Amino acid sequence: MDPAKAFAALGNPLRWNIFQMLAGGRAMSASEVAAVVKRDFDGVSKHLRVMRASGVLVSKRGEDRRLELYYIPETILRADGVADMGFCAIRFPHSPV
């Protein structure tokens, strides 16, 4: 993972909030994330794609092939609330934002 890309992706306050939320280990759709952060779907979807392109998130298709679920990959999320990117480790509080 390129540290500059990862930090650029997480440097946006909304993307940082989303990353903290996903640090709980749950995969979420763009619609679910948008509802929690109270933002529009299109904007949240764009932010999730930026995060996926940087490598801090990955996605998979849900049971319904139209549904895409975003999550922090196991290679980064070592334990619930701890993200280890190789060049830094981030420990989140037990209750993600």
| Predicted confidence pLDDT, tens digits, the chain (97 residues) | 889 999 999 999 999 999 999 988 889 999 999 999 999 999 999 999 999 999 999 999 877 777 899 999 988 987 667 888 888 888 887 644 4
Using alpha carbons, list the distances in angstroms from residue 44 to 39, 40, 88.
7, 6, 25
- Number of structural domains the chain divides into: 1
Indicate yes or no: pTM above 0.75: yes
CATH code at position 82: 1.10.10.10
Residue 7: give the domain boundaries.
3-91
